[in-house]
Structure 1
Amino acid sequence: MRLLYTLWCAICLVGLYLILFPVQFICLQRESWKPLAHRINAVWGHVFFVLVGIPVRVEYRFRPDPNGVYVFCANHFSYIDIAVMGVIIKNYYAFVGKSDVKTIPLLGYMFAKLHVQVDRKQANSRAYSLAKSIRTLQAGRSIMIFPEGGIVAKDIPRMAPFKDGAFTMAIQQQVPIVPITLLTNYRILPDDGRIRMYWHPMRAVVHTPIETAGMTQADVERLKQETYQLIDTELTRQETIAV
């Protein structure tokens, strides 16, 4: 049954994207149309979770202003995290993610056109992606980033240490950090070397923003640790409740 459920999820995920992609392709051809392309990704995520029967339960301790500019930071334990973000957050944002995504047919084209790529094989890629992320914030568009730098945690649900990039750009542009705790995605699609989908409610918490107004680059470490502790405390609390 689990294999059949996984197959059904794959059919829904790929089939929906194939249906939506022609419209998205058109929207990606002009800068002014790209917010519509972004909305198509959100529709993709919403419909997917309905079709596979996974309820989405989000606790909003803060509801972001759809026109506001933020740096959204979340823990990253599962590849389904990316699809979930479009369901949780309504803002027009750019992901900062691995350039490997561009090798995926159709999806890679969209990612290259709409988001910020990091090629870890290139020595100057991190500096380039940071500069592009800062330009994105300057243009009035939010950034979505997994500050662990990928799915790298060895003891899930304990996070790996955060990297500096998200906090450097937030301080430089004086925009708030919005921490997000993704509580159950690793139970739905574990990163264990196998592709298996498990039915489990998707649960997340959107935390109150951490303001960066008045901070300088000397505050990067403090801001990074405050964000880490906020997300980690929620993971620990929910794990205790589950036990």
Structure 2
Amino acid sequence: MIHFFRKIHRYFYLGAVCFFFGLLFPFLYYFSRKPSRYKFLNHVRYLLGLSSSAAAGIFYFINYEEQIDWNRPYIICPNHTSNLDITAMSISVKTNFAFMGKDELLDNFVTRLFFKTIDIPVNRDSKISSFRAFKRAQDYLKSGVSVIIFPEGKIPDDFPPTLHSFKNGAFRLAIELKIPIIPVTIKDSWKKMWDDGAKYGSRAGICHICIHRPVDTKDIELADADLLRDRVFGIIKTELDNEA
């Protein structure tokens, strides 16, 4: 019976996403037409994520370990267990940003608009696609736009989810450009909706997010990218373990 109600809740949540996407579409369309308007596109994305989640009784509690200077760009690295993580990051990051994500998101009628414009699609199985994606991320960061990269590369297949090893790309990029990394622990979004909710449905509740203090990279050499990766992994894993 619980599984049945969770399935119903997922359909309600998806319906809310569709409703608010349609309601906000004139603004999304207008702001997506020119790169100069992309920062406003993120404001509408914030409204879309917050309103559709709230309609389904899903809310986000964000804890910042310290005050973040959002006047500079960052590479932001959260763990990834749920589609709700996109909304979690959209409302947590208080500056202009772009997601880097799998190119399959171009097939989704909601995320397609963002990944054809402000966001960065990548096929991780293609070296050319990865090169182009990280070159675009580099250009964003140099222009002052933060980039959100899920370093696990995807939502892992195991349930309950565990933290999987991180890819190196984000950390090499951070060292090359001397851009600080913000680790983010999204603690329990999977309990509200694991992955896309297709298997276990979803439910109302509060998702807890911890925005850790930035990790400086100005004195780190490229040869130490693995150490930086492991440091960020350790910060997130420790926070997850404390919640267990």
Say whether the fold is shared (TM-score over 0.5).
Answer: yes
Q: Matched residue pairs, number?
A: 239
Structure 1's 99 and 65: CA in aligned 2 closer, same or farther, altered over 3 A? same
Aligned to 1:159: 163
Residue 168 of structure 1 is matched in structure 2 by 172
Residues 1:76 and 1:175: Cα distance change in structure 2 (over 3 Å): same
Question: Quick one: distance in 2 between partners of 1:186 and 1:107?
Answer: 20
Corresponding position of 1:202: 207
Q: Which moved more, 1:123-132 or 1:72-81?
A: 123-132
SS in 2 for 1:120: coil
Counterpart of 1:238, as a letter, is E
User: Of 18, 23, 27, which aligns to 1:19?
Assistant: 23
2:111 aligns with one of 88, 107, 112: 107
TM-superposed CA distance for 1:195, in Å, is 5.8
Deviation per CA, 1:11-48, whole angstroms, max 9, x where unpaired?
Answer: 11111011112211111112221100111001111212
Does the 8 Å CA contact 1:181/1:205 hold for their aligned counterparts? yes
Contact 1:77 1:153 survives alignment (8 Å): no
Deviation string, structure 1 residues 122-154 (Cα, Å, up to 9, x no partner): 332112211111111111100101001111263
AA partner of residue 29 (structure 1): R
Partner residue, 1:8: 12
Is 1:234 aligned with 2:239? yes
Q: Indicate how the Cα distance of structure 1 residues 121 and 218 shifts in structure 2: closer, same or farther if over 3 A, else same.
A: closer
Quote the residue 1:47 is aligned against.
51
- Structure 1 unaligned spans of 5+: none
Instruction: Specify the alignment match of 1:60 in structure 2.
Output: 64
Deviations 1:73-95 (A, max 9, x none): 01011122112211111221111
CA distance in 2, matches of 1:203, 1:112: 30
The farther-off stretch of 109-118 and 68-77 is 109-118
Give % identity. Answer: 25
Q: Which amino acid aligns with 2:170?
A: A
1:178-200 deviation per Cα after TM superposition (whole angstroms, max 9, x unaligned)? 00000011111113752611223
Give the CA deviation at 1:57.
1.1
